[in-house]
Each structure stands twice: as structure tokens, then as C-alpha cells.
Amino acid sequence: MMRGNDKSKELSRRASRRIPGGVNSPVRAWSAVGGTPIFIESASGARLVDADGNSFVDYVGSYGPAILGHAHPQVAAALGEQARKGLGYGATIELEVELAEKIGTAIAAAEKVRLVSSGTEAAMTAIRIARAATGRTKIIKFDGCYHGHSDGLLVRAGSGGMTLAIPNSAGVPQAVAAMTSVARFNSLESVGGCFEANPDGVAAVIVEPVAANMGVVVPMPGFLKELAAAARRYGALLICDEVITGFRLCHGSIAEKYGVAPDLLVLGKVIGGGMPIGAVAGRADLLDLLAPAGPVYQAGTLSGNPLSVRAGLETLGLLSVPGTYERLDTLGARLGNGLADALKRSGVPGCVNRVGSLATMFLGPNAVCEADDARRSDTARFATYFHQMLERGIYLPPSQFEAMFVSLAHSEADIDQTVEAANQALGALAAA
Ligand SMILES: *Cc1c(COP(=O)(O)O)cnc(C)c1O
């Protein structure tokens, strides 16, 4: 069975003429795996259909938002209804209050919430609040973590930056980049080093509590708690970036599940139910630094957009059904264990990292605890694996350094089909 891709090829040529690199976000390009990206025509549940009519089991899930699967009927109906009431008014609506309340009920640390239009904005705003609150300028981030594309956070950044080997973006002034120190995930020693270099100068440390932008990397026992303690010791704030993990790994904050109380939280993706959104949340005294309550300026024409907020509320409502996160974990475990077995059977070196419905199979290293481990992956081999899977109807993120996202719409049969495809693909790799 050969997959037709004439239409995707034609669209790709057209896109490249008018859109830089042919994409509106670099992670959508197939730079790391080669070939012509498929153009999506539609999606429903766990499946995508491309412009040439091919169907795939989807593990990109819009890079996180599609936790219910695509085009959930209840979310789609709510959006239709909301659209007929107007797309935005430049004034506050009840649904914004409801979403802030819902987030605040689920997350103890989210005493107050400011909605924005993207995770990038939310992370940028969290940093600005932290600097205003502490009167300090330095921030600490982790190699391989991604917090959106604002200047100060594009230092040793994960996601597309890692995939394309441009972790430090051109166009970011050296003076701005110099305000960011980089620690190694899971290394308290490197965190201590960053603090000791500026004992009175660090405004905040920002971390993905479960890292998912260098592939999935799990925090070692005690790492997050010790990190929080170090931040407190040095008078810095702890910002947990839960744009991916928030409401994906539990009904709220995974940092809180690990026993950590962040000063500020960054949310996005799932809380918008597939529509553009971001949120900065946290201690009331910190959030009240934001204008008009306080002196930290932040604004947005489409912040708290009615469609985003409505889709988010519907999604969080559906996720609050008991058993939801157990179901996601069961599906994630079936996938993670199946992939680990497939690796072992094939003899191809590598490992699988998984938490709940997030998983990455690294080809090469036998353990990945931080970005340098991830970088030891055999990306050429991953590219071959990616195309082997695609030919078997499985759509993976086109990078070794992204998570696979499982949704509630995936069935056991979908997972088993995926594992069987991986067995064949890895078998082919081992033989090559
Ligand atoms: C996706 C992501 C962001 C950026 O969110 P956008 O909505 O793409 O701007 C920030 N932090 C993390 C952890 C993310 O995964």
C-alpha cells in the first residue's frame, strides 16, 4: 500500500512560496525527518485525514490541546452557539470569570488568573511579574525546556529550537540572553551553581515540572521539591510552566501533585480546548501587580476570547468526569509499555519515557534524564522510524524531541495498531 501525496506536495510548494519555510510554526515542518509534510483536511477523534485522503492515527494532538480527540461534538456545538453570539466585545463576559474560577478550584496555587492568547505571552508575563515583585532581573531556566518564543526564554530552548539546533535564536540581544542562566534538568547541583553565581539577583526559576519539549523527561524523586526549596532560600520565585502538563496529567497542576506549590503557574493548550489561549495564574498578591490593579503592564485585544474560553470550559467540564485521568494513564501505559517491548524485541537501542498520556521513544540512549541525554539520540534513525510509521498509518510528531500525545478518543485498538506498526518499523530499522 503506497500512500498518495500529490495534493500535499502541491500545497507544500504553494505554501513555501508565500509562507517562510511553508509553515506558521517551525515544529510543523519536516526539516528533521525529510519528505513532504502532509496537509490536513480534517480530523475527528483520534484520526486525521490528509489532503490526499489518507487516514492516520494521530499522536500530535495539535501539540497538546486535543486531549478529548479532535472535533468533540460537544465542544464543536458549543463553539457554533458561541460564535452566533459574537466573537468578542472588548469587554468582560461571565465565561471568563467561570474559567478563572474553574482553574482556581482545581489548582490551589491559582488564587488569581489572567487569561491571554498564547502560552508564550503567559510565560513572558509571569517573568515580568516576578521581576517586578522581586526587583531582580536574572532568571534561571533549564536546558531543553521551552516556554514560548519571547526573547529571554529562547536560551537553550527545547521544542523546535532543539529540533532545528537553534536553541539560541538570532535576533535576541546578547544583553537580554545574558539575563537568563541555564541549569540542567534533574541536576540540583547545576541549579545551585546558577543561584550561587547570582545569589541576590535571581527573580525566578522557571521549569516544566514534567519536561515535554525535549521529548518527555520525568523529574527524579525530590527534584521539584528541592528546586522549590532552593528558590525560596535565594528569595526567587518558582514559576511552573504547565502549558502542556496542566489538566493533561491530572485535573489541575502536576507540580502540586508532586507536592510543590509554585508562586506562579503558566497554563495554555488544554485549557483552551483547541482554541488559542494562555493563562498566568498564582498568588493573589503577585497577580494583583498586573494593570489595572498594579504597575505591571500587560494587555491583549483577544485575551479571554469568548470562543477560547467557551471551548476551554466545555473541555475542562468533560475532563472533570471521574476516571478521566485513570483512563488516559491506562492508554498511555499500554502505548509506553508496548513501545518499550517493541524496542527490546528489535534490539534497537533506546528507551521510552512516559508520564500519563505523554510519551517519547528515544532511539539511542538507554536513559534520558536531561537535554544532553536527549541530544545523544540517533535523529537520522528517528527520521527513518517516523516514515516507517507514517507508511503504516501512524502520524507521530516529526521530531525526536517532541512528546506523543494520547487522547481520550484513542482506543485500545488504536494503541495496539500503533505498537504493531512500531514492531514492524523497528524490525526494519534493526535489519537495515
Ligand atoms: C507550547 C508551550 C508554550 C508556548 O505556548 P504557545 O501557545 O505555543 O505560545 C510554553 N510552554 C510550554 C511548556 C509549552 O509546551
Gap from CA of 345 to ligand 1 centroid (Å): 35
Give the C-alpha distances (Å, rounded to integers) separating 357 from 157, 340, 389.
23, 15, 19
pLDDT-above-70 percentage for the chain: 100
Question: By the 8 A CB rule, do 145 and 157 touch?
Answer: yes
Which one from 102, 112, 141, 269 is the annotated catalytic residue? 269
Going 121 to 238 to 353 to 107, the CA torsion angle's sign is: negative
The helix, strand and coil proportions of the chain, stated in percent and rounded to the nearest 5, come to 40, 15, 40
Distance CA 302, CA 296 (A): 19
The CB of 246 under 6 Å from ligand 1? The reply is no
Nine cell digits for residue 275: 482554541
Q: Whole-prediction pTM value?
A: 0.97
How many whole angstroms separate alpha carbon 136 and alpha carbon 65? Answer: 34
Q: For ligand 1, is residue 123 a contact (CB within 6 Å)?
A: yes
CA–centroid distance, residue 176 to ligand 1 (Å):
20
pLDDT the model gives residue 353: 98
Give me 351's grid cell. Answer: 528507551
Rounded to whole angstroms, how far apart are CA atoms 24 and 26?
7
CA 30 to chain centre: 18
297 catalytic per annotation? no
pLDDT at 167 over 80: no
Cell numbers found for residue 109: 496555587
Ligand 1 touching residue 255 (CB < 6 A): no
pLDDT at 164: 85
Task: Give distance in angstroms: CA of 268 to centre of ligand 1.
Answer: 7
Structure-block grid coordinates of residue 297: 503592564
DSSP secondary structure of 59-72: S-GGGTT-TT-BT-
Closest residue CA from atom 14 of ligand 1: 243
CA 137/CA 198 separation, integer angstroms: 10
Give 122 Cα–ligand 1 centroid separation in angstroms: 9
| DSSP helix/strand/coil, 333 | helix
* Residues 242-290 pLDDT 10s: 999 999 999 999 999 999 999 999 999 999 999 999 999 999 999 999 9
Q: What are the structural domains, with CATH classification, of the chain?
A: 6-71+322-431 (3.90.1150.10), 73-319 (3.40.640.10)
Per-residue pLDDT reduced to its tens digit, 284-320:
999 999 999 999 999 999 999 999 999 999 999 999 9
Mutate to test the pocket of ligand 1, among 62, 115, 147, 402 (most ligand atoms within 8 A of CB): 147
Q: Is 269 a catalytic residue?
A: yes
Dihedral (Cα; 419, 68, 399, 115), 10-degree rounding: -160
Looking at ligand 1, which residue's alpha carbon is closest to its atom 5? 119
Question: If you average pLDDT over every residue of the chain, what do you get?
Answer: 97
Known catalytic residue at 329:
no
Average pLDDT (366-372) is 98
120 within ligand 1 shell (Cβ under 6 A): yes
Per-residue pLDDT of 210-227, as tens digits, reads 999 999 999 999 999 999
pLDDT given for residue 432 in this prediction: 84
In sequence order, what are the residues at sequence separation of 6 or more whose Cβ sits closer than 8 angstroms to the Cβ of residue 140? 180, 181, 182, 183, 191, 194, 195, 202, 204, 205, 206, 236
Of 196, 177, 180, 199, give the one whose Cα is nearest residue 188. Answer: 196
**For residue 63, which atom of ligand 1 is closest to its CA?**
1
CA-nearest residue for atom 6, ligand 1, is 119
Q: Which amino acid is at 64?
A: G
Confidence of residue 204 (pLDDT cuts 50, 70, 90): very high
Structure confidence at residue 2 (pLDDT) = 66
Alpha carbons 239 and 282: distance in angstroms, whole number: 9
How big is the chain, counted in residues?
A: 432
Of 50, 58, 143, 241, which is the active-site residue? 241
213 C-alpha to ligand 1 centroid (Å): 9
pLDDT of amino acid 315: 98
Specify the pLDDT at position 87: 97
Q: How far is the CA of 243 from the centre of ligand 1 (A)?
A: 6
Residue 424: CB atoms within 10 Å: 15
Among 57, 46, 31, 30, residue whose Cα is nearest residue 419: 57
Question: Among candidates 223, 215, 284, which has minimal Cα distance to 255?
Answer: 223
- Concatenating the DSSP letter of every residue in 27-77 gives GGS-TTT-SPPPPEEEEEBTEEEETTS-EEEES-GGGTT-TT-BT-HHHHH
Distance CA 110, CA 119 (A): 16
CB-based contact 301:90 (threshold 8 Å): yes
Report the pLDDT averaged over residues 35-47.
97
Pocket flag, ligand 1, residue 357 (CB < 6 Å)? no
